[in-house]
Amino acid sequence: MVARPRVLVLGDETKGEVRRVIAAHKTWLEERCAVVATLLRRDDPIEVSADLCLCFGGDGTILSAARRMGSNQIPTLGINLGKLGFLAELTPEDLPDRAEAALRGELPEKKCLLLECSVSSDPETKVLVLNDAVVQRDRDSRLAAVTVSVGGRHVTNYVGDGLIVATPIGSTAYSLAAGGPIVAHDVEALVLTPLAPHALPVRPLVVPAEEEVVLQLEGEPGEAVGSLVLDGQVSFPIRGGDQIRVRPSPVRFRLLTSRDEDFFRILRAKFGWAGSPRYSAR
């Protein structure tokens, strides 16, 4: 007897349509697959292995999935029930056809850069990041001062509201809103994007992805200076003297994509990205 493919179903129960859409596909899935688990909360640990992960929700659900999978990254197909759907590109109507193709191994797999982030005050805790690591000052605190090195080489001292370290995937998220460049997903690079920099000449900087980025927080030792926010979902308080290390992870996030999609078409369709007002986004 041929073993049925093992499928992990993830969702975000805070999105109203998730339970309904998963229930609507329950029979179809169970006829074709062995559903090893259905997890509907972003903090549910992923402790199973599977041949395919079906992720129902939005891009935030995929960010959460990548982090929680840890070293056991599973090929993931995103079904968009949110707004933008840059990573979760499929609609529920696409699911039967695309999931069948995924189970046959016919969908392209994009291996996306993941970052491993840690803080010197808790070096044993390493968090995987798919989008970005953001150092930001607290609302009531003074300007954040961050000294940055890349690959052991001093870069500069950023002073302002904070700093974003973004992956190519994350270059179209918070970094883009803060004035950073768009980086194609197959480029191995990181973007350092300052938040409201105090010095006018300071601009976003693209650096090699394979080199460790170290952020040194200025301030009195132990003084609260802000927070470190990872993928917009995990937050750590940071204090003067803390050191944040951001390095490439040895594992990659395994995102399955449609055959007829490509990075530039998604930019045009999702962001209305165009060379002139007369240029069609299609």
- List CB contacts of 251: < 8 A, sequence separation 6 or more: 70, 71, 73, 114, 128
Strand (E) positions, 6-131? 6-11, 34-39, 52-57, 76-80, 109-119, 122-129
Q: How many whole angstroms separate alpha carbon 97 and alpha carbon 107?
A: 11
Distance of CA 35 to the CA centre of its chain: 25
Cα of first residue to Cα of last residue in the chain, in angstroms, is 46
Query: Is residue 154 helix, strand or coil?
Result: strand
3-state secondary structure of 21: helix
Active-site pick, 59, 132, 231, 242: 59
Q: Minimal CA–CA distance to 138: which of 227, 232, 239?
A: 227
What long-range pairs does 183-186 form, CB within 8 A, spacing at least 24? Answer: 184/263, 185/110, 185/112, 185/263, 186/263
Told to judge if 262 belongs to the known catalytic residues of this protein, a careful annotator would answer no
CA proximity to 163, closest of 147, 150, 152, 151 = 147
Pairing label, strands 109-119, 122-129: antiparallel
The whole-angstrom separation of Cα 111 and Cα 256 is 9
Beta bridge partners of 171: none
Catalytic residues: 59
